[in-house]
Structure 1
Amino acid sequence: MTHVPQIKIPATYMRGGTSKGVFFRLQDLPAAAQAPGPARDALLMRVIGSPDPYGKQIDGMGGATSSTSKTVILSKSTRAEHDVDYLFGQVSIDTSFVDWSGNCGNLSAAVGPFAISNGLVNPDRIPLNGVCIVRIWQANIGKTIVAHVPITDGQVQETGDFELDGVTFPAAEVQLEFMDPAAEEEGAGGAMFPTGNLVDDLEVPGIGTFKATMINAGIPAIFLNAEDIGYTGAELQDAINSDPQALARFETIRAHGAVRMGLIKHVDEAVKRQHTPKVAFVAKPRDYVASSGKKVAAADVDLLVRAMSMGKLHHAMMGTAAVAIGVAAAIPGTLANLAAGGGDRTAVRFGHPSGTLRVGAQAQQANGEWSVTKAIMSRSARVLMEGTVRVPGDAF
């Protein structure tokens, strides 16, 4: 019997925000995987350990959650005034599928540090000490992200005292600016509100009709009122993820919302678009205990938000969903804004299952249309391991 040897591919395993994934330079990938297509998808799935009917990704680098089943491909940017092109692939755990439909806001925090350390940023732009500004082209959604990366003695500073709920240990702060985050290519000609309304009645056959804010900002997202679907907004993961019926309801709501947003034409297509849109539910502040045991007081936050990612309740908050929350909260009349007390806002602090997060957004209205200049939040990033990842030579 002929045995195909494994091949080695240079790679870096990084945490970014509350996610982690395998990072590649485009030039380091095998030739067949340097272009989009089945070979690239097959390679990335094999690296992560998918599809895995056991749902564990034991034979790969994935961690069997949406937050840890991620891949990133980076290259020097060919676009003016940008340093690096950033492509994100969300790998399905149990099915043979890589979703390229959206960005990962958490891993965005690791893109700048990786780019600096791996020769993708002009050395002349890297200070000996201070902050290196890395302009990132997010290729999935065609948007610019500006990362402010701390530099010490000419190297990326990874350690520090910045604490991020959902991450156990402190690290150096990386500030991210998501420029003009409202999507241009998603649904309804790229409108921030693809239905034209701040709040819609979303009819979901067999389940009910719900008030919903459907927005394209950072990532396509559907916001619901927690009380309308039987929740308080203070739930932790087990309350949702241990309930198969609840998960099925959320997926059905997501599919019908995706149709209303113009992201898909029929609900059956949602199975091939798992990463977007996100479904989140919001509520007014209340006291609760986070998954770490940390007490979150109602006075500490402006609103509560829980969000679904790849069919499960997220353990903290996706970075792109945080952008959507910040933008929606900045626009009077959306469900997120109303949960936060209404009115004009430039920033909110929201409670999520692991604690709290602050995100800012600059929104303005002209000729009846809302636009957002940028959304801002801070994350952190750290290299966990670097070297080569191995896959069987016939894996792709």
Structure 2
Amino acid sequence: MSFVPQIKVPATYMRGGTSKGVFFRLRDLPQAAQVPGEARDKFLLRVIGSPDPYGKQTDGMGGATSSTSKTVILSESTKPDHDVDYLFGQVSIDKPFVDWSGNCGNLTAAVGAFAISSGLIDSNRIPDNGICTVRIWQANIGKTIVAHVPVTNGEVQETGDFELDGVTFPAAEIRIEFMDPADGEGALFPTGNLVDQLEVPGVGTVQATMINAGIPTIFLSADEIGCTGTELQEAINGDDKALAMFETIRAHGAVKMGLIERPEDAAIRQHTPKVAFVAPPRDYVASSGKPVASKDIDLLVRALSMGKLHHAMMGTAAVAIGTAAAIPGTLVNQAAGGGGRNSVTFGHPSGSLSVGAEAEIIDGSWRATKVVMSRSARVLMEGWVRVPGDCF
């Protein structure tokens, strides 16, 4: 009996923000996987180790969480005034599909660094010492992101003293600007309302702010769903009833936002929308044991990704939080004390995060012009990944 040997494909394993993923240059992928479609999806699934009915991704590069089951494909940009095109694939852990419906804000922090290190940026643009500005076209949602990457002695600086809650070790700070971050061509508030009364069978009617910034997100008030906003992962992820409630809300919110036609379609669109709940600030202890004082934050936010409470905060959800906080009347703004603001610091399960946002009314509708935050990134391993030659 004959067997097809494994092939090896150049790849880099990187941390970006509080996520990890496998990064590829488009031109390095197998020919069949260089275009969107079944072959590409099957290749990435095998790289990550999905679908895995055991939920461990032991036979792949995935880490068995939504934060570590991610892939990135970069290429020279096809868009004027941009350096690279960035395509993000969220790989399902236990199902055979890759979700291309949204961006990953955390891995965005690593995109500029990878682009510089892998030869996708003109060497004349890279300073010997200073900041290299990388203009990124986010292909999933059709938006511009600008990364400001530190460079030392002509190479990306990865080490430093910038600390990010949810990441164990300090690293170099990378500032990221999400320009006009409403997802795709959609309205910032798809329903036209800052707060909706969302009817959810089996749950009831709940208030929801449904916003389309960074990533489509459904915000709820913690007290209305029996939460405090100080929950850590196990409090939610160990409660099957709570997880089912959040998924039902997410499915019906997705219909209301026009993202899917039927609630049951949410099962094949796991990456978007996100669902999160907010509350006014209060003292709590983060998952690391670090105390978070109410005086140091503006509000509390907990968010779910791929059906589980996130251990920190998704970068794209942070964009949504910053944008919603800047707009008086949203549930996020109300939890932060109301009024106008251009920045917000929120508490999440691993600590806190600050986000700056600019929003204004244009032609009678709210529009987010820019959201800014700092993350960090680091190469963990580089070389090749190997997969069976007949897996795609």
TM range (shorter): over 0.9
Partners of 2:31 and 2:371 in 1: how far apart? 37
Structure 1 residue 164 displacement after superposition: 0.1
- For residues 143 and 42 of structure 1, what CA distance do their matches in structure 2 show? 27
**1:395 maps to which residue?**
391
Match of 2:211 in 1: 215
Paired residue for 2:191? 195
Matches within 5 A, 1:277-296: 277-296=273-292
- Matching residue of 1:377: 373
Q: What is the TM-score of this pair, normalised by structure 2?
A: 1.00
Q: 1:269-308, aligned counterparts within 5 Å?
A: 269-308=265-304
Specify the code of the residue in structure 1 equivalent to 2:38: P
Asked if the contact 2:103–2:138 (Cα under 8 Å) also holds between the matched residues in 1, the reply is yes
Cα separation, 1, equivalents of 2:362 and 2:254: 27
Query: Deviation digits for residues 94-147 of structure 1, max 9, x if unmatched?
Result: 000100000000000000000000010111100000000000000000000000
SS in 1 for 2:271: coil
> 2:352 is matched with which residue?
356
CA distance in 2, matches of 1:73, 1:93: 19
Deviations for 1:224-265, whole angstroms, at most 9, x for unmatched residues? 000000000000000000011111111000000000000000
Could you give the per-residue CA deviations for residues 29-69 of structure 1, whole angstroms, max 9, x where no partner exists? 00000000000000000000000000000000000000000
Q: For residues 211-360 of structure 1, what are the structure 2 equivalents within 5 Å?
A: 211-360=207-356
CA RMSD of aligned residues (A): 0.5
Question: How far apart are 1:172 and its partner, in Å?
Answer: 0.2
Q: Which residue of 2 aligns with 1:129?
A: 129
Quick one: distance in 2 between partners of 1:360 and 1:211? Answer: 25
In the TM superposition, residue 368 of structure 1 has moved relative to its aligned partner by: 1.9
Amino acid at match of 2:47: V
Does the Cα contact within 8 Å between 2:302 and 2:309 map onto a contact in 1?
yes
Corresponding residue for residue 201 of structure 2: 205
Q: In terms of mean alpha carbon deviation, does 363-372 or 48-57 score higher?
A: 363-372
CA distance in 1 between partners of 2:56 and 2:288 (Å):
23
1:176-187 correspondence runs (5 A): 176-185=176-185
1:86-101 equivalence runs, <5 A: 86-101=86-101
Partners of 2:28 and 2:45 in 1: CA distance = 17
Q: Name the amino acid aligned to 1:87.
A: L
Deviations 1:287-332 (A, max 9, x none): 0000000000000100000000000000000000000000000000
What is the CA–CA distance in structure 1 between the aligned matches of 2:369 and 2:95, rounded to whole Å? 37
User: How do residues 10-29 of structure 1 correspond to structure 2 at under 5 angstroms?
Assistant: 10-29=10-29
Kept in 1, the 8 Å contact 2:10–2:384? The answer is yes
Question: Secondary structure of 1:106's partner?
Answer: helix
CA distance in 2, matches of 1:315, 1:77: 33
Paired residue for 2:78?
A: 78
Q: Secondary structure at the match of 1:27?
A: helix
For 1:139-193, what per-residue CA distance to the aligned partner results, in whole angstroms no more than 9, with x for missing partners? 00000000000000000000000000000000000000000001233xxxx1110
Letter of the 1:65 counterpart: T
Contact kept, 8 Å, 2:188 with 2:368, in 1: the verdict is no
C-alpha separation between the residues in 2 aligned to 1:175 and 1:30? Answer: 33
Deviation at 1:2, TM superposition (A): 1.0
**Where does residue 44 of structure 1 map in the other structure?**
44
Letter of the structure 1 residue corresponding to residue 173 of structure 2: E
Aligned equivalents of 2:192, 2:24: Cα separation in 1? 39
Cα distance in 2 between the residues matched to 1:220 and 1:182: 8
Match of 2:7 in 1: 7
Shift of 1:3: 1.0
Partner of 1:114: 114
Query: Which whole-Å CA distance do the structure 1 matches of 2:161 and 2:187 have between them?
Result: 39
Q: Percent identity?
A: 78
**Residue type matched to 1:73 in 2?**
I
Question: Structure 1 residue runs of 4+, over 6 Å off?
Answer: none
The amino acid across from 2:8 in the alignment is: K
